[in-house]
Structure 1
Amino acid sequence: MDNSVELAESAPPFGSLFPSARYFEIDSNIAGERFSAWISLPAQYDADETQSFPVVYQVDGNLFFPATAPFHQAVPRDSLSPVIPFILVSVGYSDAQSQDWQWLRVRDLLPPGEAIPEAMLQAVEYAVQAGLLSKEKGDAYLTMFSTPAADKFLGFLEGELHPTLAAKFRIDEENVGLWGDSYGGLFAAYVAIKRSSLFKRIGAGSPGIIENSQIFKLYQQALDSKEDYSGRRLHVTIAARELTQQTIYQWLVARGTTELLAETALHPLPGLQVSTEIIPLETHLTAGVPAWFSFLRACYGRSVAAEA
């Protein structure tokens, strides 16, 4: 007896996958690009129309929103390690550019003047040779890599996206966070050292800080400025296997990250609270989601909120 049934293939609607999320696209005058924002509100948002909530911005939204959003409304109820309710804003690239997000992020997440590792340039060349990228796009990305513009992307977040969302949602303006991983972690470290006027709780997962990175020049400038970083937190994570296994990530990630942590210990920025956690067993590829939850525990855990 034939028990087979017909499979009706279709693209599932966004709402069926992420019922509590909303999706927006916004054109940035500062960056001259179009970005996307996936927004997930806390479960408590509609219960009290007078209550405002912290907001956490997460970069590389095309990758991390699908991986973390399903847990967003549940983590405040986690009895083992609850965090305070917050609005999640995951920032990425529009539908038209979504297939190229892994290249576009290099433009937006690296500080101006940051050198591009040879391995990244080789990755573009390989993608062209393998037919994954057109020669035209590959050349465009290599040109783009020569002028990274994290300053413009930060300007977009601070000066365009956040004011727009603050006018639409009930946001606690004194409790705005930022998290990123890999080059997103580099961007997060850049924002923390730049002493952003908006972002006060920042998580940098496996930041791609190479030798002679602009991060160290900016850190020295911050030290020389003697500015007060009180009320600000920086949580840095790194994957155990980035540290222990002899791979490219030892010098692309582990060396620079440990050097930054050494600087924060030996020459601390006045008032900046720095914490760190090694993500056990994981690699550069697999540590991102655990790093996100590590950041939430460190900067938005209920015990941390009680101390603030």
Structure 2
Amino acid sequence: MHVTIPNTQRFNVEADYRNRSFQIDVYQPNLPVPDEGFPVIYLLDGNSTFSTVVDAVRLQSRRPERTEVHPAVVVAIGYPTEEPFATERFYDYTLTEPDFDVTKKWGDRELPAHGGAEEFLAFIENDLKPLIESKYSINKQKQTIFGHSLGGLFVLHTLFTNSQAFQTYIAGSPSIHWNQTAILKEREQFINTKPKLDKTVSLLVAAGEMEGNHASYMLDNAKQLTEELKAVPNLEAAFQIYDNENHISVLPRLINQSLKIALK
């Protein structure tokens, strides 16, 4: 017997690069549509996060006057696989080849292709968003992008290169070390050009306490990057460490905090 999540749909969307096909899962609340439309959360690595986020939104938005979490559409950008992660993410979420030695991680295995972040972002902006907005009632002024690990790196890239694309950016345990030279260059350009954000944009960068022991300096990189962004006008940048959490266990706590920021 197949179990389905209520009020959800699944469909595939073809992209115009690398014969890429994305598995898109969408949840829309079974509630009257607000005059301005529902807020929307776009999830990277959708295979791994969709059900958790949907359950959190469904439960917490039942009493928004208490939780400060309002109903929202959830859009998971995943891949046609039953696994939580797909190797295609290495191309879609990264800017260039890795800046560090990956031989210990990959050994004799072939390193997946890298450097497709621009193409992936163009797919989201030019193909996926218009499709979602044609099928669902979306408030274009309350859009969130959520990414973790390499997905968190992509979220930062999106903020630095297209800060008007979303109003809330969630970068969990961002793999800054993976493309450190490129992402820090983008950060400096973003800060130095003093982007004129029409309205306040929120950024949450977060990681688990146990990631502080990682050879990538995950916590230090994330904290330093966030601190320097606090000087940008109309950018509300926050950094959070979750105690006793590792690179994967951090996700449920990150999701809960993200909803309070994105759907208040």
Q: Does the alignment reach a TM-score above 0.5? A: yes
The answer to whether the Cα contact below 8 Å between 2:57 and 2:69 also exists between their aligned partners in 1 is: no
Offset from partner CA, 1:246-277 (integer Å, 9 cap, x none): 3335x2x2121022023124xx2232111222
Query: Which residue of structure 1 aligns with residue 39 of structure 2?
Result: 54
> CA shift at 1:174, angstroms?
1.5
> CA shift at 1:218, angstroms?
0.5
**Counterpart Cα distance in 1 of 2:261 and 2:247:** 20
In structure 2, which of residues 71, 78, 85 is the aligned counterpart of residue 85 of structure 1?
Answer: 71
Offset from partner CA, 1:69-97 (integer Å, 9 cap, x none): 233312212575331111000111024xx
The answer to whether the Cα contact below 8 Å between 2:41 and 2:75 also exists between their aligned partners in 1 is: yes
Identical positions, percent = 23
Classify the secondary structure of the residue corresponding to 2:67: coil
Query: Which residue of structure 1 aligns with residue 135 of structure 2?
Result: 168
In structure 1, which of residues 32, 43, 53 is the aligned counterpart of residue 30 of structure 2?
Answer: 43
Q: 1:78 to 1:208 in 2, by over 3 A?
A: farther
Query: Which residue of structure 2 aligns with residue 220 of structure 1?
Result: 188
Give the RMSD, CA atoms, in angstroms: 2.3
Residue 86 of structure 1 aligns with an amino acid whose one-letter code is A
The answer to whether the Cα contact below 8 Å between 2:205 and 2:240 also exists between their aligned partners in 1 is: yes
Structure 2 residue 243 is the aligned partner of structure 1 residue 280: yes
Structure ranking higher in helix proportion: 1
The answer to whether the Cα contact below 8 Å between 1:114 and 1:213 also exists between their aligned partners in 2 is: no
> CA shift at 1:106, angstroms?
1.1
Residue 41 of structure 1 aligns with an amino acid whose one-letter code is Q
**Counterpart Cα distance in 2 of 1:24 and 1:116:** 35
Query: Which residue of structure 2 aligns with residue 304 of structure 1?
Result: none
**Counterpart Cα distance in 1 of 2:69 and 2:263:** 5
Structure 2 residue 161 is the aligned partner of structure 1 residue 194: yes
In structure 2, which of residues 107, 112, 121 is the aligned counterpart of residue 125 of structure 1?
Answer: 107
Runs (4+) of structure 1 exceeding 4 A deviation are: 48-51
Q: How does 1:139-158 map to 2 (within 5 A)?
A: 139=110, 142=111, 144-145=113-114, 148-158=115-125
> Aligned pair count?
261
Classify the secondary structure of the residue corresponding to 2:113: helix
**Counterpart Cα distance in 1 of 2:239 and 2:42:** 20
The answer to whether the Cα contact below 8 Å between 2:226 and 2:238 also exists between their aligned partners in 1 is: no
Classify the secondary structure of the residue corresponding to 2:88: helix
Classify the secondary structure of the residue corresponding to 1:56: strand
**Counterpart Cα distance in 1 of 2:106 and 2:127:** 31
The answer to whether the Cα contact below 8 Å between 1:231 and 1:272 also exists between their aligned partners in 2 is: yes
> TM-score, with normalisation over the residues of structure 1?
0.77
Query: Which residue of structure 1 aligns with residue 14 of structure 2?
Result: 27
Classify the secondary structure of the residue corresponding to 1:260: helix
5+ residue gaps, structure 2: none
5+ residue gaps, structure 1: 1-11, 127-137, 302-308
> TM-score, with normalisation over the residues of structure 2?
0.89
Query: Which residue of structure 1 aligns with residue 5 of structure 2?
Result: 18
Q: Indicate the structure (1 or 2) with the bigger Cα radius of gyration.
A: 1
Q: 1:48 to 1:109 in 2, by over 3 A?
A: closer
> CA shift at 1:166, angstroms?
0.4
Offset from partner CA, 1:98-119 (integer Å, 9 cap, x none): 54934221111112x2525434
**Counterpart Cα distance in 2 of 1:259 and 1:213:** 14
Classify the secondary structure of the residue corresponding to 2:87: helix
Query: Which residue of structure 2 aligns with residue 63 of structure 1?
Result: 48
In structure 2, which of residues 76, 79, 98 is the aligned counterpart of residue 115 of structure 1?
Answer: 98
Q: 1:100 to 1:202 in 2, by over 3 A?
A: closer
Offset from partner CA, 1:37-72 (integer Å, 9 cap, x none): 11011232xx34855111110100111113332333
